[in-house]
Structure 1
Amino acid sequence: MENHFWFDLIFRNRIMDTLSSPIQMLSFLKRAEPESQEISRAAEIWETTLQIVKERIHQKHKRSINATDLLSTDELKMIADMSGCLSHLQPPICPKHCLASKYRTITGACNNRWLPAQYEDGYSQPKSWNPGHLYNGVELPPVREISNKIFRASDNTTSDDNAYTRTIVEWGQYIDHDISFTPQSTSKATFKGGLDCRHTCENLNPCFPIKIPPNDTFSTKKDCLPFYRSSPACGTGEQAVLFETLTVSNQRQQINALTSFIDGSTVYGSTPALENELRNLTSEEGLLNVNTRFSDNGREFLPFVAQVPSPCAQDLGDPDGVRIECFLAGDSRSNEVISLSALHTLWVREHNRIARTLKKLNTHWSAETAYQEARKIVGALHQIITMRDYVPKIIGISAFHHYIGPYGGYDPSINPTVSNVFSTAAFRFGHATIPPVLQRLHHKFQEHKNLSSLSLHEAFFSPWRLIKEGGLDPVIRGLLSKPATLLTPDHIMSKELTEKLFVLSNPGALDLASLNLQRGRDHGLPGYNDWREFCGLHRLETQASLSTVITDLNLVQKIIDAYSHPNNIDVWLGGLVEDTVPGARTGPLFACLIGKQMKNLRDGDRFWWESDNVFTESQRNELAKHSLSHVICDNSGVTEVQTDVFKLGQYPQDFVSCNHIQGLNLEAWQENPNRVGTCNSPPRIKNGNFVLCTMSAQIVVVYSCYFGYKLKGSEEMTCTDSGWSSDPPTCKGKHSPICFFFFYYYYFLFKVLHYFTPIFTPIWNVQLHSLTAATSVNRTEGQWAPSNPTTKPTASLHQELEIRC
């Protein structure tokens, strides 16, 4: 199975040698791994089926009746089961062997909302979905209109942050991608009528287009920009009729396709399939795959994605036309900008450096043990850098002590799930700190004579610039020595983001401010004042009270002119423009929301690095010595850094040699090679590996198979006086779950149509056309290609459908 078969689903017209449009680039960023796509599509199939039933009932009875009034509980469960949703609502099966307490699972399993959503129909429709719907006597202003009135600056000049470097901006984006990712709808056409979302300005699921005001600066002939709703979670929104009456407890919820934990999923992925693709399974050292075509002065680049061509930009000036594809990393957004790609690359190099060293210290370790121990260390370093070095600077020391405080150990009652308001609003504060220019500097931290500075849009989706234009080092030096942007009332966000987002050499652009506001409304986020009340802050019901937290009166007037009433203010905008807390880069609302979330991520994580039995005391002491400065020194050609790379300093007086940067000593992980006692080294197995651990004072070996293989036999062997307790298991191949998914998808449509023929027959052609068009696939030439979009299930289903796996 090709792990990224999403390529053909997202780009319904295949991309050949031309560059993608900005909306296609956004879709590229918002794509999910196959496992997450399966969940998303199951939810959409279930939701759309119930909507069709409801509409058909309304046509027949001329009144609104819930699906439960016609369908029994057993019938609803049958629909949920055939859609695939029911299986995703079951709790995970957690391992009980000794590794369950030694290493976290790649998915984060076995390890929400803080306020109810405010949907216009109570459970699913976004804010501003229905024309004429009033909030405090007025309609909500269109998001692009807000962007034009409040975010637009007269020029592209910015105010520099005199305390922090651009590194702090990139780390915020990078760590956000470690803990949250909300996939957008797997369909690019309306469920009702099959209209392409790129060509309609109607609000029809999953299309929720951004209206463009008259005389807008966007050079487009259309009245809107395409926008796709986030995928719903199974069993929420209209689907919740299966469980109980529609209440705030089961409003439409969105999916986090990541683990939520700070665990280095940006390096390792969040699904077994992607992890398998990222690993070098032929290495005895537990390494990650690297690029086999190019190197960075002897250091590794990230590998390329499998799809050729990929939608990343190309060097149009290359006389040989050598293509540089998108990088493959643990998170699909790694290509968004080359400075983010550089951070991803550093951590892959760091994993491989640590894994090689651990294997040298412990020659008896299996490749799996070296990989898992290196992964565990890298995850811990992500946690340390984030909580010790990053968060206090963002929310301020006072807010850190108030909302987070000292570590008191793992608390199983804490829900570590990333909240909707955190990922959709609060942690997007960083978008206002992104400078419009990316500098590339030489070894003395001056402008590089051969590498000019880049406008931000020139660095979007351009991995070729890292490979062909000097590698990581010039970019890293720019991050270390150049300041972040300071938000000011007259310059909230750079025009590079509001006017040129994802512009390459193609016409059109997107607006990040509009996207953020529209996404908040799509998710039904309560307004600014509701969140202030949630945090114990005063509601600001008048223009005068609003001016107590936003002291620039001109900005306050712009906000009131746009929204008419403070209660209408979108939470992302309101939290973003509050005056910052002393010593922080956020106002009081976002300091609260970020602080609460970070405390939950720490205290609710059984594998937090400071938790008992995760590391030994000597290992914790060594981890605490490490820093992002040392990661940069160990994995790049940069030889001078600040001791704290987030703090802005002057070169050379505030920089030190890498030789003076303290780091962890991996000898704290050295083990006794004779720990297996009377037993020899465990037998190796084909297509799998093993890890040793201790249970009840006995040495136990636990086997596992690589992704795509199933373990046959006992997964554990115990070392006894007479040797290992049993023969090792074997790993047998198994069919791709994605192939089964598509088969059961069509089988589901066939069975539902057959079962509910009186309901569906009059509306089949219109209602379900887009679902079949979006998902009908044949496998050819190792890729997934759209098959005939007009095909529909019939009694001869098995003869008409060809799903070759």
Structure 2
Amino acid sequence: SIITEARQLVDATYLQARKSLKRKLEEKIVNPMDFLKHLKDPIGSTRSAVRAADYLETTLKLLKRKLHLSGEQSFNVTDLLSRRQKEMISKGTGCDCQTRSIKCPERDFYRTITGECNNRNHSHLGSSNRAFVRWLPAVYEDGVSVPRGASEGKRYNGFPLPLVRKVSNEIAHTANENVTADRQLSLVFMQWGQWVNHDIDLAPASGEGASLELQCHTSCAFKPPCFPIKFPPDDPRALSPNTCMPFVQSASACSPGAFRREQLNAATSFIDASTVYGSDDALARSLRNLSSQLGLMAVNQLFWDAGLELLPFENTTHSVCVLTNRSANIPCFKAGDKRVTENLGLSAMHTLFVREHNRLARELRKLNPHWDGEKLYQESRKIVIAINQIITYRDYLPLLLAEETSRWIPLYSGYNEKVDPRASNVFSLAFRFGHTSVQPFVSRLNESFQPLCSSSHVPLHLTFCAPWRIVMEGGIDPLIRGMVVDHAKLMKQNQLLIEELQNHLFEQTEVMGLDLGAMNMQRGRDHGLPGYNAWRGFCGLSQPQTVEELSEVLGNPKLAKKFMNVYGTPYNIDLWIGAVAEPVVPQGRVGPLLSCIIGTQFRNLRDGDRFWWENPGVFTPQQLQALRKISVSRVICDNTHIKKIPRDAIHHFHHTLFPASSFQADGKSLKIQTVLDLGNVSSKDLIS
């Protein structure tokens, strides 16, 4: 009866959540949180997986309440259940269906959309809608699900945890004007990082998170799934003493056996271009053009980009993206990943690879007129996946990890079925280091790499969820030229997160933008991740105890002092802020701790992938030879109207910049170095 009651409760909350968001969209009043919800809302089979986990959690909560177990006692309600009762709960909530392993076919030529059966012995490894793998045990306040920092004044290692917003204000914040450019790397580097990250993991928001009744906005109390971010008393953005920044917990996953909270990864872990194709069979079908046997991806039927394809729109009557420019009335794009419209550079990458798929499918059809649509789709998909794997491992990771690359990712020696390819919970946070290389403006440049018009230089926060800027303002070419010419932001210890992300995230329609740094730390606590020192220990690095030892690790006594003042002990430092504050490894872009976490993850993703592009039998020797010639620049040339581009789009072309050109934007005169002087570039550096 408790299981039934739990199901009714959860269903009612879900229904309310959907109604309240629909009502807000109809009334055209949304806040930054609604944009975030839209990007992280569970869809399709993810929704069922999340709902089953919610049934399970609610069942346990009700049981605890019925048995009058107060939170003070040290045992869990699950300790009181027999094995039969646990099985009954698992069945009754639908969790057993979510965690059942499937029988894999005898032979397979292509990877599944869901990532299932990549590992034939453990069919679920790396597949979508499963729990992240944990490299260290979870740390929760109650040992089960309550995030650390949820109860005020509770001490850890002798100190209370600081408010994440306080840490963000004191350690992460950088003014937009005070940004050092990365001399070596273009903004393509930052964008590729986000693109790959979205291929590997997506922790959707709890399905109950959109409910009006929960009011993650108005209350500061921890009431799952609301875990609001409190303002410190001296915070310039606190509107009144009891306002908070809303925060919704990540959805949990059904995890067999242990009834401890685990977060769900809605994407396949593998680098398999799930950003393009989806991680769910129904979504994958809906993204294809099945009206003909040509193996093509569906594209926009209403708008074109100077004759080239644009992404299709999601088919919702009330799309949150419309609200970023009501008169344009452009809804969000639809892609293999829900976050496609988060920023313009990301939408451009999505567009580029859907075009590349269709270009390949058309070429393959010319060569193999006898192939049917399915074969054309799968073969094109296989090549697009290989392109993504090659660029990531050959071009991107060596720039990120520099001389640490070979240490963490040695030469490939074939598929190993004993390697666990799952995305780890810690990686889903560690890879957010990329937030520190984001620039505060988005530039768009014309054919001669000159500013596109007076509005070519847009503050970042006005580009979130704004696909109308691609449809109405010149397509993706100006954005790509801007990414090639602009430098990535350099991650410096005194310049971690730009103001645009620290105070104005998703601030399209309302005053109160979100704080990405604070959210990253709150998310780490929500996910039960241990602190900074535990991860240093995991990686075989020293674990500083004192301010002197911490200054040595950070190479910065002043910063070490700040950390100790805020946290009291290095053991309590939140993983994200501790990791991004470390000085980078020689020539690299991240410190030793991030090198270890990121390197370990990418090695597992490669070695545990049966369909890895270099694994013998996946491609023929001739195909391998052709694949080795690809590059980001090649993909851009083949799928845009851009006529000239640096041969290596990720490295910045600093010696070919024109002197600063100044022009008006937002009423301020901005000096930006934009223009590539293509005249003094030797032809070997360019591809036309």
> What is aligned with 2:226?
207
2:626 is the counterpart of 1:614:
no
> What is aligned with 1:109?
116
> What is aligned with 2:52?
42
Equivalences, count: 638
Q: Which deviates the most, 542-551 or 170-179?
A: 542-551
Measured at CA, do residues 61 and 110 of structure 1 come closer, stay the same or move farther in structure 2, by a change above 3 Å? closer
2:356 is the counterpart of 1:350:
yes
Shift of 1:49: 0.9
Residue among 66, 78, 88 paired with 2:88: 78
> What is aligned with 1:95?
105
Q: Which deviates the most, 446-455 or 19-28?
A: 446-455
Distance 2:20 2:373 in 1: 36
2:445 is the counterpart of 1:445:
no
2:194 is the counterpart of 1:173:
yes
> What is aligned with 1:430?
434
Contact 1:189–1:207 (CA under 8 A) maintained in structure 2: no
Specify the code of the residue in structure 2 equivalent to 1:270.
S
Distance 1:625 1:151 in 2: 40
2:426 is the counterpart of 1:421:
yes
> What is aligned with 1:216?
235
Shift of 1:284: 2.0
Shift of 1:89: 1.5
2:525 is the counterpart of 1:521:
yes
> What is aligned with 1:58?
68
SS of 1:164's equivalent? Answer: strand
Distance 1:149 1:451 in 2: 33
Contact 1:162–1:648 (CA under 8 A) maintained in structure 2: yes
2:294 is the counterpart of 1:285:
yes
Measured at CA, do residues 5 and 110 of structure 1 come closer, stay the same or move farther in structure 2, by a change above 3 Å? farther
Measured at CA, do residues 447 and 53 of structure 1 come closer, stay the same or move farther in structure 2, by a change above 3 Å? same
> What is aligned with 2:460?
456
Give % identity: 44
SS of 2:217's equivalent? Answer: helix
Distance 1:420 1:61 in 2: 26
SS of 1:254's equivalent? Answer: strand
Residue among 485, 498, 503 paired with 2:502: 498
> What is aligned with 1:26?
36
Query: What is the root-mean-square deviation of aligned Cα atoms in Å?
Result: 2.4
Distance 2:405 2:476 in 1: 33
SS of 2:370's equivalent? Answer: coil
> What is aligned with 2:245?
225
Specify the code of the residue in structure 2 equivalent to 1:24.
D
> What is aligned with 1:240?
258
Measured at CA, do residues 204 and 323 of structure 1 come closer, stay the same or move farther in structure 2, by a change above 3 Å? same
SS of 2:488's equivalent? Answer: strand
Deviations 1:296-338 (CA, angstroms, capped at 9, x unpaired)? 100011000000220015564x8xx341110001100010011
Specify the code of the residue in structure 2 equivalent to 1:16.
E
Residue among 120, 126, 148 paired with 1:127: 148
2:395 is the counterpart of 1:377:
no
Distance 1:659 1:362 in 2: 35
Q: Which deviates the most, 75-84 or 629-638?
A: 75-84
Measured at CA, do residues 556 and 66 of structure 1 come closer, stay the same or move farther in structure 2, by a change above 3 Å? closer
Shift of 1:638: 1.0
Distance 1:171 1:655 in 2: 24
Contact 2:153–2:160 (CA under 8 A) maintained in structure 1: yes
Measured at CA, do residues 6 and 38 of structure 1 come closer, stay the same or move farther in structure 2, by a change above 3 Å? farther
Distance 1:60 1:461 in 2: 44
Deviations 1:150-185 (CA, angstroms, capped at 9, x unpaired)? 122355320000000000001101110001001121
Measured at CA, do residues 350 and 303 of structure 1 come closer, stay the same or move farther in structure 2, by a change above 3 Å? same
Contact 1:500–1:511 (CA under 8 A) maintained in structure 2: yes
Deviations 1:665-715 (CA, angstroms, capped at 9, x unpaired)? xxxxxxxxxxxxxxxxxxxxxxxxxxxxxxxxxxxxxxxxxxxxxxxxxxx
Distance 1:35 1:132 in 2: 40
Measured at CA, do residues 405 and 240 of structure 1 come closer, stay the same or move farther in structure 2, by a change above 3 Å? closer
Q: Which deviates the most, 197-206 or 459-468?
A: 197-206
2:561 is the counterpart of 1:557:
yes
Measured at CA, do residues 345 and 71 of structure 1 come closer, stay the same or move farther in structure 2, by a change above 3 Å? same
Shift of 1:276: 1.0
Question: Within 5 A, what are the aligned runs for 1:465-504?
Answer: 465-504=469-508
2:537 is the counterpart of 1:533:
yes
Shift of 1:33: 2.1
Specify the code of the residue in structure 2 equivalent to 1:360.
K
Measured at CA, do residues 388 and 70 of structure 1 come closer, stay the same or move farther in structure 2, by a change above 3 Å? closer
> What is aligned with 2:274?
265
> What is aligned with 2:672?
none
Distance 1:566 1:63 in 2: 29
Structure 1 residue runs of 4+, over 6 Å off?
4-7, 59-65, 656-660
Distance 1:623 1:32 in 2: 35
Distance 1:340 1:87 in 2: 34
Distance 1:64 1:402 in 2: 43
Distance 1:6 1:591 in 2: 43
Shift of 1:508: 1.4
SS of 1:348's equivalent? Answer: helix
2:157 is the counterpart of 1:136:
yes
Residue among 330, 333, 338 paired with 2:336: 330
Distance 2:20 2:111 in 1: 31
Contact 2:328–2:468 (CA under 8 A) maintained in structure 1: no
Distance 1:65 1:604 in 2: 37
Measured at CA, do residues 607 and 60 of structure 1 come closer, stay the same or move farther in structure 2, by a change above 3 Å? closer
Measured at CA, do residues 654 and 556 of structure 1 come closer, stay the same or move farther in structure 2, by a change above 3 Å? farther
Shift of 1:63: 7.3
Distance 2:440 2:88 in 1: 53
Shift of 1:422: 0.7
2:406 is the counterpart of 1:401:
yes
Highest Rg: 1 or 2?
1
> What is aligned with 1:585?
589
Measured at CA, do residues 59 and 512 of structure 1 come closer, stay the same or move farther in structure 2, by a change above 3 Å? closer
Q: Which blocks of at least 5 consecutive residues in structure 1 are unaligned? A: 242-250, 663-805
Q: Which deviates the most, 286-295 or 499-508?
A: 499-508
Deviations 1:537-561 (CA, angstroms, capped at 9, x unpaired)? 1111111111123223322221111
Distance 1:30 1:304 in 2: 17
Distance 1:522 1:312 in 2: 28
Deviations 1:204-225 (CA, angstroms, capped at 9, x unpaired)? 2211111112242326444211
2:21 is the counterpart of 1:11:
yes
2:594 is the counterpart of 1:575:
no
Specify the code of the residue in structure 1 equivalent to 2:235.
D
SS of 2:535's equivalent? Answer: helix
Contact 1:189–1:206 (CA under 8 A) maintained in structure 2: no
Q: Which blocks of at least 5 consecutive residues in structure 2 are unaligned? A: 1-13, 119-132, 657-675
Distance 2:16 2:361 in 1: 31
SS of 2:181's equivalent? Answer: strand
SS of 1:625's equivalent? Answer: coil
SS of 1:300's equivalent? Answer: coil
Question: Within 5 A, what are the aligned runs for 1:244-259?
Answer: 251-259=260-268
Distance 1:516 1:562 in 2: 17
Q: Which deviates the most, 386-395 or 642-651?
A: 642-651
SS of 1:197's equivalent? Answer: coil
Distance 2:201 2:69 in 1: 41
> What is aligned with 1:708?
none
Measured at CA, do residues 12 and 76 of structure 1 come closer, stay the same or move farther in structure 2, by a change above 3 Å? farther
Contact 2:181–2:489 (CA under 8 A) maintained in structure 1: yes
Residue among 580, 602, 609 paired with 1:605: 609
> What is aligned with 2:345?
339
Shift of 1:5: 11
Contact 1:141–1:563 (CA under 8 A) maintained in structure 2: yes
Shift of 1:584: 0.3
Distance 1:159 1:659 in 2: 26
> What is aligned with 1:148?
169
Measured at CA, do residues 409 and 16 of structure 1 come closer, stay the same or move farther in structure 2, by a change above 3 Å? same
